[in-house]
Structure 1
Amino acid sequence: MSRKYDGDLAKPIKREPLGPSDTPEQREEWNEANEAEEKRRMGLLFEAHGIKAGDWENLCWSLARDLRGFQLASSKRPGRPKRWWDWPRAELRLDIEELQAAGLSVTEATQHLANVEPYKFFLSHANGAERLRSESTRPITPRIFELVRYLRDPMNFAGETTEEPGALARKLLDVNYTQDDPQNEQ
């Protein structure tokens, strides 16, 4: 991923070559002209990288970042993006459990879910029920599964219902705020 330059930075320096009959003064003059052209182009290089002339360290870093060895590897994997991960898989498993509680078998539940959103989005072929059944049996991180289960019915978790402000937050954080409450320290 090298940078593309334009103008004089994209062209080599063209100078008439020195001949064997050139005098030392001509050679010195040729060298000075060549050095002046290199300095002019170095100024163009600073300008092309958007760096103040003379700031060599930042120019070095800017040039180094064009090298493959200084670039971050892409986390993007080749191929189709991954659609299934623990969260939708947990949602699927809970939906199947709800349909089983209503009297459907796992096969019937997956056939039903294959025709409704959001699961239609996850399926790209005609045999969606089989794919859903396969995904529902894959391992899920237990903490994510419990979190999804909890968030689906947060106020009725463990059979408790309350209208008290902050009850959901205390449940989620698993903190007993009454112990730390200054009003209860009498």
Structure 2
Amino acid sequence: MTRKYKGDLAKPIRLEPPGLLVTPEQQEAWLDAPLPELSRKMNLLLEEYGLEAGACTAAVWSLALDHVPGFQVVIGKGPGRETVWSPCTRALLVLSIEELQVLGITITEACKRLACEEPWASLVKHSNGGQVLRNESTRLDDEGRGWLSLHRDFRNCLMRAGEMPDEPGAFARKFRHLIDVQHRPKNRQ
């Protein structure tokens, strides 16, 4: 028998993803952010079942976290198509194209080449990937230009520190890897 929940018990807790350059303390604070809301919702759940607030045990928490939609913590936006081309990603693409242009490669050829390499190959999964990359590289807005400046500075800093080889695409691969590792969900139960 499945129970339908109403109000706040039917709505997951939505969190925006943490920033890219967060400290371990900020990451910990971000992970702890939903705790007050979870506590408030536990009181609503106990009230829904006619239980006293002190009657909460680990089993009740486990059941609530596993089965009640209002106790689910969702990172990012709600349902719908996932955003692939953020301003940050577009800026990273423009930087990768610029790195190839320094070698005398045209924008069109650079886009074709990048479409066959990670991280771009996984973003454009069809034969006209070079054209998709070229189109996306022209859609850089003000926020994207800010990211581009940040990417350039970060790349130059890594190169000076000897943390990254001076080869086209190395920064994009390293940066995407850092994002994937940082945004990998951690189980906090």
TM range (shorter): 0.3 to 0.5
Give the greater-gyration-radius structure (CA): 1
